[in-house]
Amino acid sequence: MISGSAAVAAAASVTLLSACGRDDADDKPLTFWNFYSPAPQQDPNLVAQSQWFEEVIEKWNDENARKVTPVFMTGDQMNQRMPVAFASGDGPDIFLISPGDYLRYANGGVLTDLAPYMEPEAIDDFLPQALATRRDGEAIYGLPMEQEPLALFYDPDLLESAGVSEGDLPGDWDQLLELGAELSTGTTTGLVLDVDPGYYQNFTFYPWLWQTGGDVVDPKTQRPVFDSDGPRAALDLFGRAIANGATPRTRPANGDIVSAFTSGFAAFWQTGVWDVMNLRQNAPDKRFGVMPLPAPSGAETVTCLGGWAWCVNARGTDPEAAARFTVSALGSMDEDSIAHMAAWNSPDVKGNMPARSSVDAVLEARDAYAGEHYTTFRDVILPTGRAEPRFPPVVYKAVSDALQAVQLAGAKPEEQAATAQKSLESYLETYRGGTLL
């Protein structure tokens, strides 16, 4: 049984999030844990993103008594340190989370509802699919700063050298695997899919699963539906990609698409919109293409929409000030706020798809989507998007284990789907917390 009630979720909070709040001395700054600022190196891309955060924070600090201090750490460091920090009552006041980590903190009762600090017009300004995974009824427990759809990137130079024109791009799964296997010769990889277990690999797997009409959990009934034809077919796709030689067991160029494309090491690569700017800035003379993820024959393409959100610690130093800061930066109808969000999602800073209609309008007016790659993402791929699920760790792990077993150990998809289904059923029988979207 699943309840969307915040009260039930709080009652079911795990012990690592049960510590009390901290001292709220008036002069104590709010800590903002993030992996953007201050920039740890001088890569122009990272510097621009760090400066964006610095400008938001400086503007707030100039106008408010309660200051904000950014604390930089890598994504891995945040994953390791945040649960420990919250358990000791010393969690950050503001922090970044993806949908995959949302329920860990929402069910722990440590997230501040930001809706009371927002104008109704601003709430409505957020695109529904961007805000859905951070909501519980009317309550809003995180504000997304972006949307990050997945696509298939390709190297037209490599394809042309192999006698493949852009008019012959794969139109379905079978064509993709067949072409990927043909192109996998010597040091060249035909198709790069993620092979490392983790939330990111699951994120890249969901679109292929959804294209079959299948799912992990039925959105309406909130019951697991993994032991069915769709999930089995998606698992089989990842298994066949390895088995037929289209996809390697380790990603080429140590997972760096720029090095892989500039060296002719990869033909097709599943990744997200963020790599458009990555390639443009770090390999400005390299041609590349972007296309929707091919679907099974006769099916419609679907992508997954990731992206980071700012959340506020309800047991922090000053949750009200932290909420006002977060809303002023990401969720206000103030023109400066909208313009600053447009700058973040523009090709000059992060180059993602916006999470708000007003921001999208500003970017369109500035011709930010004029380039062919951003036009493809915005007009072709983004409309097919579905929000990344906010599955708790047990649900994520059941899917990850099945995917790894089929992809890298040669296990049978039907057996792994059944095993995952049993694990999901057992967990959800006693689960009490936010809905699994």
Question: What mean pLDDT is predicted for residues 297-325?
Answer: 97
At 73-109, the pLDDT tens digits run: 998 899 899 999 999 999 999 999 998 889 999 999 9
pLDDT at 166: 86
pLDDT at 22: 53
Question: What mean pLDDT is predicted for residues 119-134?
Answer: 95
24-33, 57-66, 160-169, 295-304: range with lowest mean pLDDT: 24-33
More confident position, 334 or 101? 334
The rounded distance, in Å, linking the Cα atoms of 399 and 205 is 9
pLDDT at 251: 96
Kindly tell me if the per-residue pLDDT of 294 is higher than 90. Answer: yes
Across the chain, mean pLDDT equals 92
At 335-375, the pLDDT tens digits run: 999 999 999 999 989 999 999 999 999 999 999 998 899 99
The rounded distance, in Å, linking the Cα atoms of 229 and 213 is 9
Distances (CA, A) of 137 to 1, 131, 313, 434: 17, 11, 19, 10
* 8 A C-beta contact, residue 91 and residue 315: yes
DSSP character for 303? Answer: E
Question: What mean pLDDT is predicted for residues 129-149?
Answer: 95
pLDDT at 7: 36
At 221-273, the pLDDT tens digits run: 999 999 999 999 999 999 999 999 999 999 999 999 999 999 999 999 999 99
Kindly tell me if the per-residue pLDDT of 202 is higher than 80. Answer: yes
At 365-387, the pLDDT tens digits run: 999 998 899 999 999 999 999 99
Q: Which residue from 46, 60, 51, 30 is spatially nearest to 336, judged by alpha carbons?
A: 60
Q: Is 182 exposed, middle or buried (0-12, 13-18, 19+ CB in 10 A)?
A: middle
The rounded distance, in Å, linking the Cα atoms of 380 and 364 is 15
The tokens for 219 are: 């959105």
Helices and strands of the chain, counted as H and E runs: 18, 13
Q: Which residue from 114, 399, 387, 368 is spatially nearest to 230, judged by alpha carbons?
A: 399
pLDDT at 46: 85
At 402-427, the pLDDT tens digits run: 999 999 999 999 999 999 999 999 99
Q: Is 197 exposed, middle or buried (0-12, 13-18, 19+ CB in 10 A)?
A: middle
Q: Is the dihedral of CA 129, 132, 134, 138 positive or negative?
A: positive
pLDDT at 400: 98
At 16-70, the pLDDT tens digits run: 454 454 555 678 999 999 999 998 777 777 889 999 999 999 999 999 999 999 9
